[in-house]
Amino acid sequence: MKKTFFIVLAFLVVVIVMLIYIKIDKKTIIKSVENTSISPQDKNEFKSYLKVSFLDVGQGDASMIEWPSGKQMLVDCGRDASVLSGLGDFMPFYDKYIDYLLITHPDYDHFGGCIDVLKRFDIGEIVYNGLVADNKAWDYFWDLAISEGATITRISKLDTWKIENSELKFLYPDSDISIKGINNNDSSIVFLLSFGEMDILFTGDAEEGLEEYLVTTYDNILDSEILKVGHHGSGTSSITKFIDAVKPKYSVISVGEDNNYGHPSLRVLKRLERVQSEVFRTDLLGNISFNIYENRIERVFE
């Protein structure tokens, strides 16, 4: 009987001590939280950048731009549902809305995954270059796009969009390219994203002909901190005069591991090395992200 009494007494003592500890610890936690409030300056710093991510979608292209408010633009979608995995790394599971879907040109390795994106997400606005592909995959994608009810915008002239504190300068197409008979790659939408002093140049699958045109027409504004290298680093792109005009501090190549095309070309890598551009490849690194501040760029590891 005495043994039972002492066991019960010991148990009660332990419970009382635990309750006292929890009460003290709770006060400590509350006090700690109260003392770590975010100052207005810290809040501004927290919201002072936009994020650019280049998704690993194998041999294809997909990039995500996210503005400080959370507004998003998906640039191309790769060739299949692997884009959803990439998006899942950056978007919370409950986020089912993308403000802009931009398709640089109607090659399957750029729009194929958009079919899966349209099935998963609501899209506010679809942006394209006015060209269509003559195949069932494009027809299916386009039917989905129409049924989505999104605004559809065709880029066919020089234009500048102001989104929050940034500018999107559409450099190409600068006219109606549907009557020019150029190849799909050189019909790519090319745009310059500017945020403060920082510039990011997106080139789709631009090849030598389009790069020559860009240098001739826009040489004085091509200088950029980040270049999304054209056509997966193919030897038909990234000509010397174009790389010299852009002078990218960072170059991103979206390319599939052990692909059958020999991408990226060793010549292209040498040209980028010559201008001291640091190269990031999705086949080696997976997703590649940067926080873009108004006066600096930070690589993000996630």
pLDDT exceeding 90 applies to what percent of the chain? 80
Same domain, 154 and 119: yes
Residue 120's domain comprises: 50-300
pTM of the shown model = 0.84
> What distance in Å separates the CA atoms of residue 76 and residue 101, rounded to the nearest whole number?
7
Place 178 in a pLDDT band, splitting at 50, 70 and 90: confident
Residue 9 has pLDDT above 80, yes or no: no
Residue 39 has pLDDT above 60, yes or no: no
Residue 12 has what pLDDT?
A: 55
Tokens of 187: 């019909």
Q: What is the mean pLDDT of residues 164-175?
A: 96
Residue 17 has what pLDDT?
A: 47
Q: Which of 24-33, 37-46, 67-76, 219-228 has the lowest mean pLDDT?
A: 24-33
> What distance in Å separates the CA atoms of residue 216 and residue 197, rounded to the nearest whole number?
23
CATH classification at residue 58? 3.60.15.10
Same domain, 13 and 134: no
What ranges in the chain are assigned the alpha helix state H? 2-34, 40-46, 82-88, 108-111, 114-120, 136-148, 208-218, 240-246, 266-274, 282-285
If one compares 225 and 43, the residue with the highest pLDDT of the two is 225
pLDDT digits (tens, 9 = 90+) for 95-149: 999 999 999 999 999 999 999 999 999 999 999 999 999 999 999 999 999 998 9
Same domain, 116 and 161: yes
Spell out the residues 6+ positions from residue 182 whose beta carbon is closer than 8 angstroms to its own: 209
Same domain, 31 and 139: no
Residue 11 has what pLDDT?
A: 54
Provide the number of structural domains found in the chain: 2
Same domain, 255 and 120: yes
Q: What is the mean pLDDT of residues 221-225?
A: 98
Same domain, 1 and 54: no
Q: DSSP assignment of 95-140, as one string? A: --EEEEEE-SS--HHHHTTHHHHHHHSEEEEEEE-S---SSHHHHH
| Helix H or strand E encompassing 167 | strand 166-172
Residue 241 has what pLDDT?
A: 98
Cα–Cα separations (whole angstroms), residue 37 to 34, 45, 261: 6, 14, 53
Place 169 in a pLDDT band, splitting at 50, 70 and 90: very high
Half-sphere exposure of 115 (CA within 13 A, CB side): 15
Residue 56 has what pLDDT?
A: 98
Q: How many CB atoms lie within 10 A of CB 218?
A: 18
| Domain membership flag for residue 153 | yes
Q: What is the mean pLDDT of residues 4-16?
A: 51
Residue 177 has what pLDDT?
A: 82
Q: What is the mean pLDDT of residues 19-46?
A: 37
pLDDT digits (tens, 9 = 90+) for 201-211: 999 999 999 99
Same domain, 215 and 74: yes
Indicate the Cα dihedral angle 101, 170, 167, 280, nearest 10°.
70
Query: Counting Cβ atoms within 10 Å, is residue 182 exposed (0-12), middle (13-18) or buried (19+)?
Result: middle
Same domain, 188 and 150: yes
Residue 7 has pLDDT above 90, yes or no: no
> What distance in Å separates the CA atoms of residue 27 and residue 263, rounded to the nearest whole number?
59
| Domain membership flag for residue 43 | no
Q: What is the mean pLDDT of residues 189-208?
A: 98
Residue 132 has what pLDDT?
A: 92
